[in-house]
Amino acid sequence: MTTHMAIATAGKDVTDMLRTAGLRPTRQRVSLAELLYSKGDRHVSAELLHEEAVAADVPVSLATVYNTL
């Protein structure tokens, strides 16, 4: 299991990661981080991450995905 995947397996770790980056861990940011890191190292576009969020029933706008990235 990669470090990023380990981070994504526990919501608390994702929350800590966001706080360390100086970001407030909102539900949307936590959900997006979990989606982003759950599949290992990869490159994604904002549009692809948004599609994954919609498929996972995460209510988030494309603008929020751009701002979060």
Domain ranges of the chain: 3-68
What is the average pLDDT score of the chain?
85
Q: What is the mean pLDDT of residues 4-26?
A: 76
Q: Are 15 and 7 in contact (CB under 8 A)?
A: no
Axis crossing angle, helix 27-37 with helix 11-20, rounded to the nearest 10: 110
Model pTM score:
0.77
User: Can you give the pLDDT at residue 7?
Assistant: 42
Q: What is the mean pLDDT of residues 19-43?
A: 91
Q: Is 50 exceeded by the pLDDT of residue 20?
A: yes
Give the Cα separation of 44 and 27 in Å (integer): 20
CB atoms within 10 A of CB 13: 15
Architecture of domain 3-68: Orthogonal Bundle (1.10)
